[in-house]
Each structure stands twice: as C-alpha cells, then as structure tokens.
Amino acid sequence: MLQELLVENYAVVEKARVRFHAGFNLLTGETGSGKSLVIDTLALLFGGRASSDVIRSGADRARVSGIFDAPESLGAFGIEADDGELILEREILSSGKSRAFANGRPVTAAILREIAPLLGDIHGQHDQQRLFEEATQREILDSFGGYDVAALRKVYTDWKAAEAELAGLEARQQERLRLADLWNFQKKELEAAELENGEDARLEGEKRTLGNVTKLSQLAAESYELLYESPESTLSTLKGALKRTEELVRIDPTLEGSLDAMRQTEISLNEVAHGLRGYLDNLESDPNRLEEVENRLALLDKLKRKYGGSIEEMIAFLDDVRTSLTQSLSADDRAQQLTQQVDALKAEYLESAKAVSASRNVAARKLEKKIAAELRPLAMERANFVVAIHESQPSAHGSDRVEFLISPNLGEEPRPMDRVLSGGELSRLALALKCVTNTGPAHRTLVFDEVDAGIGGAVADAVGRRLKQIAAENQVLCVTHLAQIAGFGDHHYVVDKQEAGGRTVATVEELDRGRRIQELGRMLAGQRVTPEALKHAEQLLDA
C-alpha cells in the first residue's frame, strides 16, 4: 500500500507531499488541473521511462519518492525493509539521465519494474486501447489461466534456430562442394611439394655456389697457395719468425707470451689451410645438380605466387586448407544431426502447443463466466463475452490466435470489441478484466485513470460500487470526473492549479467533509454551485 507520495519540481508541481490511506482514494479537479500527474509520478516509481521534459522550468532536476508497505518478498531483490517500509525514489536530471533508489540503495529502473507488481498496478486509457490488440488479449488469457508459456517459447526458438542453420547449410551445399574440389587440389599440390621451412634460403646459397665453381676454385687455390704452398707463404714466413723467437726466449724469457701466441697462430693457420684444401677437393662442377636446384626454386616461386610469399605462409595455408576440408566433410554430418534435431524439436513443440491450447480453452470458458459475473453489476448484464481461440501458424506463443468477442446487447452476434463497444462499454469491460485478472497479492495499490470515460448516471454508480468493493482488499487510487463515482470514496483529494509569483503551481489537498461536499457540488453543477447541487452532493455522501 502507498502511504505517502512526495513530488518536487515535476511539471507544474513545485513541491507536494500527499499521504494516502487504505481503501478508496479519489483524485478530482478541473480539467487540466494536473490530476494525472499523481498517476504519472507513481508510474516513475514503478520503473516507467523518465524524461527531462518533466522538470519544472528553472529547476535542474525533478524528484519523486514514495513510501510503501514493504512486501514480504522484498529480500529476493537484495533490498532490506526499513521498519516494514519501502522507500522508492526517482531523480531526473536535466541531462536526461535518471537515478533510482530503494531504501537509499541505488537500483536500476529494471529492478523497479520487477518490484512494481508486488506494490500495485496502474490502469489507464492507454491500457483500454491495448485491449483491442491480439497480443494483449492472449496475454490476459494466459495470465488468467496461470500457465507459463516460457517453456513453449524456448522450444519454438530452438526449433527455428535449428531450421535456420539447416537451411543455411543446404543453401551453401553447392558452393561447399565446389570449394571442396578446389581445396583438394590445393592440398595435393602443396603436399606433393614437401615443403620445409628455410629450404628456399638454403637452395639459393647452393645455387650461387654451383653457378660460380670456376671462380671459387681459383680464389680458394690462390688463398691456399699464399697461406701454405708457396715458398713465401704465410706459414713459411711464420715458421722462420717462430725459430728466431724461440732463440730470443732462451736469452730473454719475457717474450714467452709472444712465443705462445705465435705457436697458436701456426696451429690456426694450419687448420685454415687444411680447410681450404678440403674445400678445393670437394669443389667440382655439377650441371645436373644446378639444374635440380634451379627447378626446385622455380617450383617454390610458383607456389609462393599462389599460396603465400614465403614457405612459412604456404605451410600455414596448407593447414587452413586441411581444416576447411575437415569442416566441409563434417558439414554433412552436421546437416544430418540438424535434420534429426529439427524433427525432434518440432514434435516437442507441437505436443507442448497442443497442451497449451487445451489449457487456454479451459481458461477461456472460466474467463467468460467470470467476466459475465463482473459485467452484471456494471449495467451490462445482457452482454455476451466470448473468448474465441482460432488455430494459427506456429509461433513463440503457440499455435493459437486468441480473440475477445462481445455482444453488448441481447440477441446480437458477438463481434470484435473495437467494432461494437462504445467508450463507456469499453471502460466497464476493461474494469471487469482488471478485476478478474488481478492475480497479485492483496493490499496492493490499484490505480484507475479514466475508468469513467464515456459513462454516467446509473452506470457510473455501478462502476463506483465495484471500485468500492475492490478497495475492501486493495488500496484504490482513482482519477475521476464523475460525482457518482467520487461519492463512494473513503478519502477525497482535489488537484488544483494556482498562480504564485507569476508561476503556475499545482497542489494536491485532502478534503474534509465540508469541502468534499463543495467539490462534489462543483462536479455536479459546474462553476456555479447551486444549493440544489450541494444538497445532491450531500446525499451522495450519505448514501
């Protein structure tokens, strides 16, 4: 139950604090006084969309807060009750952003929307227009029936996803077969080449060697002769120097280090000379090998132009081709799996949809009886309300199309509501549906805005009585223009606009009995309240 509502800098409301009570709470006022502002601000606390357009001119933010009796399941949202109370706040900034709090803890608007059904429900003229929509009618029936179509929706989603994947595989089958032929050719060509990392660099070096045998032989021979064979070779000269240094060391041992270095140099030069000799012995012209190397390099260059700029890239390309072939081969297996999956999911869906259809038919008959009972005290006792269930194409909601039909008068064939109902009849039917499908916990705040549209006289009296009955178990907030309805209220508030400091300010005030009679008189007679109107107003309250 809503205990208190605080509104600051919202539209024409500078600051208003309103305490509400259990039972039937009425909101009245002149047209354009801002009665619906109370409803709009409460909708914000229930997670409705926030807009910076509602911020009062000259203010940088608007703030709405409400104190509710804390519902028992509040802990499921991670929110602790504060002495049995739940304080919801919504702050709207001029930047367009908004912030929400629950007992001082920051929460999202989504959390507010999840908490809202535990606190109350708002029914306005927009909800009445939505009654014409097929989806709304189906949702009402499903909510009334109390069965959950979430499992059916999941099966349908899985079924259609598997169908879409299978259709994609089948559509790409021809392209996949064409590519498989190409991948097989590429795989064979690359595997036949027996690629090795670094082979091209090694072959380039061998090619340079084979192409320059004569020059290499000449250079190696000259180097060998200068180093070892000629009488004036480096080694011959070194040996002469070595003998003289040995004689020096015998006289002056301080040159022992130099002698050791010369001996080590002699060993190194001998090794180099023997290496050159071996190189010369092995160096020979081999035209056949040169041709082989050149052919191999030509093949590698050809493959590089097709599959990558290096052997490493070609090996990676070969790995990709093998992977693609594996996936192509597995696509047929996947298609077979999907075919079986589609058949299984379709069968499961049809079975579930059949069960939902059966439940809907049972719920439809019950709803028809309950609506008929609700319409009788609302001066529509001769109306015939029918819930028609037609077979339709499978969807996430089942294979049914739900349609509400009504015949307001005896002897007429039931027809779609938007074709036969007047505005007043629609308001009463909407009220009846709201009463029947109100499956939430008791002592919630039920808000009715424009429930009196298009009605008057005895019908308004019937609507007022029904709202009074609802208020016995729930707190009711009702915006009305009709004195016949307002007379049933337990508590009466008037919304008014006044001028202060050159600004328009809206106020909300609870009325005592005397002022309530004055307000009812105004609602009955208009601006010129006559004694007769006041007497009639007093009679409405006493009745």
Confidence at residue 206, expressed as pLDDT on a 0 to 100 scale? 67
- Per-residue pLDDT of 312-360, as tens digits, reads 999 999 999 888 887 777 777 788 889 999 999 999 999 999 999 999 9
CA 334 to chain centre: 29
CA 143 to chain centre: 24
DSSP state string for 295-363: HHHHHHHHHHHHH-SSHHHHHHHHHHHHHHHHHHHHHHHHHHHHHHHHHHHHHHHHHHHHHHHHHHHHH
To 10 degrees, what angle do helices 199-211 and 213-224 make?
Answer: 70
User: Is the CB of residue 121 less than 8 Å from the CB of residue 447?
Assistant: yes
In this prediction, residue 542 has a pLDDT band, given cuts at 50, 70 and 90, of confident
Confidence at residue 44, expressed as pLDDT on a 0 to 100 scale? 92
Distance, CA of 6 to CA of 42 (rounded, Å):
10
**CA dihedral in degrees (123, 126, 127, 133; nearest 10)?**
180
Can you say whether residue 398 is alpha, beta or left, with left for phi > 0 and alpha for psi between -120 and 50 degrees?
A: left
Distance, CA of 482 to CA of 26 (rounded, Å):
11
Nearest of 10, 24, 133, 69 to residue 516 by alpha carbon? 24
Kindly tell me if the per-residue pLDDT of 299 is higher than 80: yes
Q: Is 2 helix (H, G, I), strand (E, B) or coil?
A: strand
Kindly tell me if the per-residue pLDDT of 505 is higher than 90: no
Alpha helices in 7-78 (DSSP H): 35-45
Confidence at residue 285, expressed as pLDDT on a 0 to 100 scale? 60
Q: Max Cα separation, the chain? A: 153
